[in-house]
Amino acid sequence: MELPTLLSPLTIRGHTFKNRIFSTGHMTVMLQDGVPTDRMVAYHAARAKGGAALIIIEAARTHPSGDSGRPAIRAYDDACIPGYKRIAEACHPHGCKVFGQLTHPGREMPLTAEGTHAVAYAPSAIPNERFHVMPREMPIAMVRELIVSFGSAARRLQQAGLDGVEVVAAHGYLLSQFLNPRTNQRSDDYGGTPENCLRFVTEILSTVRAAVGEEMIVGLRLSGDEKEHDGIPAPEMLGIATALAATDDLDYLNVAAGSSSGLAGSTHIVPPMAYEAGYTAPYAAAIKAQVPIPVFVAGRINQPQIAETVLASDQADMCGMTRALITDPLMPVKTSEGRLDDIRACVACNQACIGHMLNGYPISCIQHPETGRELEYGTLAPAGDPRKVMVIGGGPAGLKAASIAAKRGHRATLYEAHATLGGQVNLAQMLPGRAEFGGVTTNLSHEAELAEVSIKLNAPVTLQTIEAAAPDAIILATGATPYMPVVEGADEAHMVEPWAVLQGTANVGSRVVIADWRCDWVGIGMAERLALDGCHVRLVVNGQSPGQSIPQYARDVALGTLHKLGVKVTTHARLFGADQDSAYFQHTLSGEALVMEEVDTVVTALGHRSDDALARELADWPGDVHIIGDCLAPRTVEEAVLDGLRIGATL
């Protein structure tokens, strides 16, 4: 498939981008004392080497009042300059442009770096719903001070040798708060009328342009629709974008969606697989039709073919493909070489990218744990002593271990007891709205094929099999099976496991209670699946919320769906008994009984137990044995693939 538009150059203010693929500004959690680290340099360099035309470095604070509990580059301090410079010097040799991104959170700031509640400043004292923050109205002197601070920060980016500056007025942060009459109720020159609401942003853009001169590119990021109850809707944002694009200070607009101010809007900041691929493009298209400057777009554009469609239909001029580049840094190079089938596609699970960031850990990817670990695994050393490696289990852990071992020169053979590869991924993809997750198996299987791993299907392994194969090393990745504790009355109750429901071997009645211990996708997915099948569903979770253990931006979409389907949720409850028509729980805090009556079926989403029988049999085997993935301890795909990488890289 030819992708002529995606691979064509674009010139803005004398800077030529070699293609239309860029990495949007995104927090990596790779800082030390507010400055970029070696880890961040290596992370961005890998994407530049992989062919990205532009990298926009994560949002930096322009003023100390914007410092929060979430670490960010301190662009108000000259100490940031060397770190920015090192990133630029690492990316420029690959023909990749580098921009810095400047922002201030405004009221979107619940905590300070010390962990105490922050004094959050905003245009007006309008509370934030998501973080439950009541901000302080920004004094006029502070407004003017912040305008100057953006110019000073932009000058530091220029001194570091960056090619451009992107100012953030998206996602409900401070500049957006000034643009929005619902959050800006000032009566001075910076509020009260549409023109006054624009003033803060236009003066910042003017200050930034004056600071960087005529050679650097200056852009602005906007949410085409903030998708929140007090956010800026698409028609209103179109007028704002048109007015801002009319200034002489702006070179492009970068369009996304969503707002940090509420749980619903925030899911669009890093949209999960529940949202259609490329769904933000129409917002960019509406703006592009009205403005004279280039328009960028980002949001679920995870494949080159999707980006080509967006660009060729003139909906945008460049496509932000951040998570696609996190999953496969070489995606642009593979695209230019026509190797589309070799691209490792992002499945928008949000677990190791935004999920890590929200928890304060460096970002990575469940499919490609080398991301964020470029210093450790960016270059794999060839095996000094190539060995015959037997990998037992064709799930994510086994596939990754076999691929890495083979790439390093080992003779890897993978044995899978069933007819298909993928392990539990094959079940996960059967949950409603999770079909895209099956791409994990597709991608890992293809990597194994490219690495020339020998794969044997329908090949259960016994001690006799091992003796006959005579491997130098064994990697056990036999996974896990559903865990079922002793439940009083289970013999007379109708209790089934989620695996049986998905495989169609369980006869589920019309009135269902789901006992969800792990608070992950299984309970949520079962509830949605059975509700869609017409069952009356009650989801009982042993935690604070369904999906407590999965990334917020994915979980919150699912919770909204369950509410629409009428699923009844009970929290803080552990299963201890059941009979023919009831299920018995204990409240984990009060200790009191909770009785669910009129129950036909209890679905037991109670976690998994390692399938380590073969490991026990090999306890006295004299050879080299390694246990990985769920066989070692039941966890998630992320840990399984990371285990595979680590053992494959060190074997």
Distance of alpha carbon 98 from alpha carbon 533, whole angstroms: 50
Contact 78, 156 (CB under 8 A): yes
CA angle, residues 50, 642, 645, in degrees to nearest 5: 70
C-alpha atoms less than 13 angstroms from C-alpha of 352 in its C-beta half-sphere: 21
Cα separation, 503 vs 456, in Å, equals 23
The answer to whether 164 touches 196, Cβ cutoff 8 Å, is no
Percentage, residues of the chain above pLDDT 70? 100
- Rounded CA separation 587/604 (Å): 17
C-alpha distances in angstroms, 364 versus 16, 40, 305? 30, 12, 24
Planar angle of CA 522, 527, 531, nearest 5 degrees: 150
pLDDT digit string (tens) for 384-418? 999 999 999 999 999 999 999 999 999 999 999 99
- Measured over all CA atoms, what is the biggest interatomic distance in the chain, rounded to whole angstroms? 84
The reply to whether CATH 3.20.20.70 applies to domain 10-376 is yes
The DSSP line for 175-211 is HHHHH-TTT----STTSSSHHHHHHHHHHHHHHHHHH
Residue type, 313: S
CA 1 – CA 137 distance, rounded (Å): 54
Residues tagged active-site: 173
Q: What pLDDT does residue 113 have?
A: 85
Residue 97, strand partner residues:
54
Evaluate whether 461 touches 612 at the Cβ level (below 8 Å).
no
Residues 13-34: pLDDT tens digits? 999 999 999 999 999 999 999 9
Which stretches of the chain score pLDDT less than 50? none
Residue 98 CB: number of other CB atoms within 10 A? 25
Is residue 381 helix, strand or coil? coil
pLDDT of residue 2: 86
Domain covering 384-482+610-650, topology: Rossmann fold (3.40.50)
Report whether 468 contacts 456 (CB < 8 A): no
The CATH superfamily assigned to 495-606 is FAD/NAD(P)-binding domain (3.50.50.60)
Domain boundaries, given as residue ranges, for the chain: 10-376, 384-482+610-650, 495-606
Q: Which of 539, 518, 519 is nearest to 529 (CA)?
A: 539
Q: How far apart are CA 201 and CA 207, in angstroms?
A: 10
pLDDT of residue 583: 98
**CB-CB neighbours of 125 under 10 Å:** 15
Q: Is the pTM of this model over 0.95?
A: yes
For residue 99, what are the β-bridge partners? 56, 164
Residue 178: beta bridge partners? Answer: none
Q: Please give the DSSP secondary-structure letter assigned to residue 488.
A: B
